[in-house]
Amino acid sequence: MSLPPPITNQAYCNVSALESGTIRLHFSQFTTSASPDDVLFVPSLSFLLQHSSKESKFIFDLGIRKDWENLPPLTIEQIKQNFHVSIPQDVVESLTKGGTLPSDIHTICLSHLHFDHIGDMDLFPESTFLVGADSKHLKSAPSPENPLALALNHLPPERTRYLDTSQCPPLGPFPHALDFYEDGSLYIVDAAGHLPGHINVLARTSADGAWVYLASDSAHHWDLITGKGSIVVTEGTGFARCAHADKEAAERHNLRIRQLGEIPRVRVLLAHDGPWYEGNKDGPAFWPGKIPSM
């Protein structure tokens, strides 16, 4: 298994991490390898990707909005009861710290529509938004208070593209991936399982064959990628609770991520990648610096 080799004058992306809040996760809700006291504050990472030869700035995920109290009531209740968030610096402040304004951002790709990934879309009034085509199914949610339906309805219709990757060719271990710039520098990968429309990004980070894979919520803990743990399903009265809408699809996708990570010079990052964050926060991997190529 391999990824496309570089060509002469190969285009690539400079990728920088962006601070966009932290969230408390009970890992025993996600992986069978965790104990009930495995509770940590982890990042909700966003990323700035800049094309090597085009004047194009691309953000993957917006993290948590600073005024989270303005989220839908059901989400606020979830945050208070389960997650607890802290946003010392949101994505706009992270960009500004490096000399970049929201008006400089051409494209924002949202991996999915959970609150800790959509930030405050109103702060980017000139950007084009990309979401997975299957996100449209969330509009059928019957309750007008459903946070996912509200997030979908809040996307600016005239500046939103719904990406259907179902007819795109395979890439490495993945059945479908969209060559976004049509030059092999950035691919948007169908990442079925976590939520309808969930997508990931695979970006080439050097002209000679290095890559980074931004896996978002494909897994909330590395044990689900390595195979040390399995996705948790909590049995309740008359229902089963799981962090993924389609557990089997999520498991298949995580296996593909594991296979991808075995390819030389590929770095894999999760949205809530605590170990990577602890080793890199306040360092040069964050904008205005960049994540080093492998």
How far lies 88's CA from each of 85, 94, 153, in Å?
A: 10, 10, 28
For residue 1, the model assigns a pLDDT of 78
| pLDDT for res 145 | 60
Write the pLDDT tens digit of every residue in 250-264: 999 999 999 999 999
Residue 184 near residue 216, CB atoms below 8 Å: no
Q: What is the pLDDT of residue 137?
A: 82
Does residue 1 fall inside a structural domain?
Answer: no
Query: Is 287 within the bounds of a domain?
Result: no
Q: How far apart are CA 50 and CA 58, in angstroms?
A: 6
Is residue 271 one of the residues assigned to a domain? yes
H/E segment holding residue 214: strand 211-214
The domain total for the chain is 1
Residue 5 lies in a domain: no
Question: The sheet that has 13-18: what strands, in order across it?
Answer: 13-18, 46-51, 57-60, 107-109, 128-132, 160-163
122: nearest Cα among 151, 79, 96 = 151
Q: 129 lies in a domain?
A: yes
DSSP, collapsed to helix, strand or coil, labels residue 278 as helix
Which residue range forms the structural domain that includes residue 178? 13-280
Q: Strand, helix or coil at 119? A: coil
The answer as to whether 61 is a domain residue is yes
SS3 content of the chain, % helix, strand, coil (to 5): 30, 25, 45
pLDDT digits (tens, 9 = 90+) for 52-91: 999 999 999 999 999 999 998 889 998 998 899 999 999 9
- Strand extents, DSSP E, 62-192: 85-86, 107-109, 128-132, 160-163, 177-179, 186-190
Q: Is residue 192 included in any domain, yes or no?
A: yes
User: pLDDT at position 144, please?
Assistant: 52
- The model carries a pTM of 0.96
Residues in the chain predicted with pLDDT less than 70, given as ranges, are 139-145, 236-240
pLDDT score of 142: 47
Please state whether beta strands 186-190 and 266-269 pair in parallel, antiparallel, or not at all (unpaired). Answer: unpaired
Q: Is 153 a member of any domain?
A: yes
Q: How far is CA 92 from the centre of its chain?
A: 17
| CATH number of the domain within which 150 lies | 3.60.15.10
Distance, in Å, from the CA atom of 159 to the CA atom of 38, rounded to the nearest integer, reads: 41
